[in-house]
Amino acid sequence: MSGRFPALETLVPPYIQRFEAYIPSKPDAVLKEMFGCNHLLRLNNNENAFGPSPAALEAIKSFNSASASIYPSGDAYFLRQRLGEATEHSSEAFIVGNGANEVIAFVIKAFCCEGDNIITADKTFAVYEWVAEFSGFEARLVPLVDYRFDPDAMLARMDGRTKIIFICNPNNPTGSYWNESLLQQFLDRVDGKCIVVLDEAYAEFIEKSDFPDGLSLIRKYPNLIVFRTFSKMFGLAALRIGYLVSNPKLADIIRRTSICYSVNMLAQVAAEASLRDAAFQISRTRAMINSSRKYICGELDRLGLSYIAGEGNFLMIRVPMSDTSVYRRLMQHGVMVRTMTAFRFPNYIRLTLAKLPAMEEFVNAMEILLKKRVGIQ
State pLDDT tens for residues 1-54.
Answer: 556 777 888 899 999 998 888 888 899 999 999 999 999 999 999 999 999 999
* pLDDT-above-70 percentage for the chain: 98
Mean pLDDT, rounded, for 75-81: 97
In a domain, 199, yes or no: yes
pLDDT, residue 376, reads 42
User: Considering only CA atoms, which of 315, 310, 124, 296 is closest in space to residue 208?
Assistant: 310
Q: What is the CATH number of the domain that holds 192?
A: 3.40.640.10
Tens digit of pLDDT for each residue in 243-253?
999 999 999 99
Same domain, 207 and 271: yes
Same domain, 202 and 346: no
Q: Indicate the number of domains in the chain.
A: 2
> Which of 152, 166, 227 is closest to 195 using CA atoms?
166
Residues 316 and 354 both lie in one domain: yes
Question: Which residue range(s) make up the domain with 182?
Answer: 54-276
Model pLDDT for residues 136-183, shown as the tens digit of each residue: 999 999 999 999 999 999 999 999 999 999 999 999 999 999 999 999
Co-location of 146 and 290 in the same domain: no
Reported as a pLDDT band with limits 50, 70 and 90, residue 373 is confident
3-state secondary structure of 162: strand
- 125 part of a folded domain: yes
**pLDDT value at position 1?**
53
Predicted local distance difference test score (pLDDT) of residue 9 = 80
Residues 218, 298, single domain; the answer is no
Give percent of the chain above pLDDT 90.
92
Residues 6+ apart with CB under 8 A from 108: 118, 131, 132, 135, 137, 164
Last residue in a domain, options 276, 308, 326? 276
User: In this model, does residue 189 exceed pLDDT 80?
Assistant: yes
∠ Cα 262 263 264 (to 5°): 115
Mean pLDDT calculated for residue range 270-298: 98
Average pLDDT over residues 111-121: 98
Instruction: Give the domain-ending residue among 276, 301, 331.
Output: 276
Please compute the mean of the pLDDT values over residues 196-219 and round it to a whole number: 97
Mean pLDDT throughout 79-84?
A: 98
pLDDT at 372 over 90: no
Residue 3 forms part of a structural domain = no
Comparing C-alpha atoms, which of 350, 354, 362 is closest to residue 173? 350
186, 304: one domain: no
The answer to whether position 2 is within a domain reads no
CA 255 to chain centroid, in Å, comes to 21
- What is the average pLDDT value for the chain, to the nearest integer? 95
- Give the residue-averaged pLDDT of 247-261: 95
Whether residue 283 sits in one domain with residue 333: yes
Residues 296 and 351 in one domain: yes
Is residue 6 in some structural domain? no
Q: CA-CA distance, 146 to 355, in Å (whole number)?
A: 29
Q: Is residue 5 part of a domain?
A: no
- CATH number assigned to the domain comprising residue 304: 3.90.1150.10
137 assigned to some structural domain: yes
Mark whether 65 and 195 lie in a shared domain.
yes
323 and 260 share one domain: no
- Euclidean distance between CA atoms 202 and 159, whole angstroms: 30
Q: Is residue 25 part of a domain?
A: yes
SS3 288: helix
The answer to whether residues 272 and 288 belong to one domain is no
CA distance 189 to 223: 12
Which of 245, 276, 307 is the last residue before a domain boundary? 276
Instruction: Please check the confidence at residue 336 and state whether its pLDDT lies above 70.
Output: yes
pLDDT at 274: 98
Are residues 304 and 351 located together in one domain of the fold? Answer: yes
